Amino acid sequence: MPDKNSHGNPQRVPIPSRDGAPPAEPAGSPRDYSHGNPERVPIPSRDGAPPAEPAGSPRGKSSDDPIESMASDACTPYPAQVPPELDVFEFDLGPALARLRGRHDLLIYMHDNPDPDALAAAFGLKRLVEHALPIKATLVLGGIVGRAENRAMVETLRIPLVVAEAVDPAAYDALAIVDSQPETGNNSLTPGRSVDVVIDHHPAREESAQVPWRDIRPELGATSTIIVEYLRARNVPLDTFLATALFYALRAETRDLGREATHAERVAYLFLFPLVDFHLLSRISQPKVPREHFAALDRALRSAQVLGDLVAVNMGSIAYPDLVAEVADLLLAWEGAHFVLCCGCYGDRFYLSLRTEPSERRAGALMRQLISSEGAAGGHGTMAGGRLFRAIATEPEQRATFDQMVNRLLDLIGRKSPPISPLIGS
pLDDT (average), residues 267-278: 97
What predicted TM-score, i.e. pTM, was given to this entire model? Answer: 0.75
Q: What is the DSSP letter of 55?
A: T
Angle at which helix 116-132 crosses helix 148-157, to 10 degrees, equals 20
Tell me how many helices (H) and strands (E) the chain has. Answer: 12, 13
CB distance 376 to 387 below 8 Å: yes
The pLDDT > 70 percentage for the chain reads 79
2 has a pLDDT exceeding 90: no
Domains annotated on the chain, with CATH:
66-284 (3.90.1640.10), 293-422 (3.10.310.40)
Is residue 89 very low, low, confident or very high in pLDDT (cuts 50, 70, 90)?
A: low
pLDDT (average), residues 376-389: 89
CB distance 142 to 164 below 8 Å: yes
Separation between Cα atoms, residue 363 and residue 385, nearest integer Å: 9
User: Phi, psi at residue 377, to the nearest 5°?
Assistant: -140, 150
pLDDT (average), residues 365-381: 90
CB distance 303 to 315 below 8 Å: yes
Q: What is the DSSP letter of 8?
A: T
Separation between Cα atoms, residue 211 and residue 208, nearest integer Å: 6
Return the minimum-mean-pLDDT range out of 77-91, 203-217, 321-335: 77-91
124 has a pLDDT exceeding 60: yes
| CB-count exposure of residue 328 (10 Å: 0-12, 13-18, 19+) | buried
Average of per-residue pLDDT values in the chain: 83
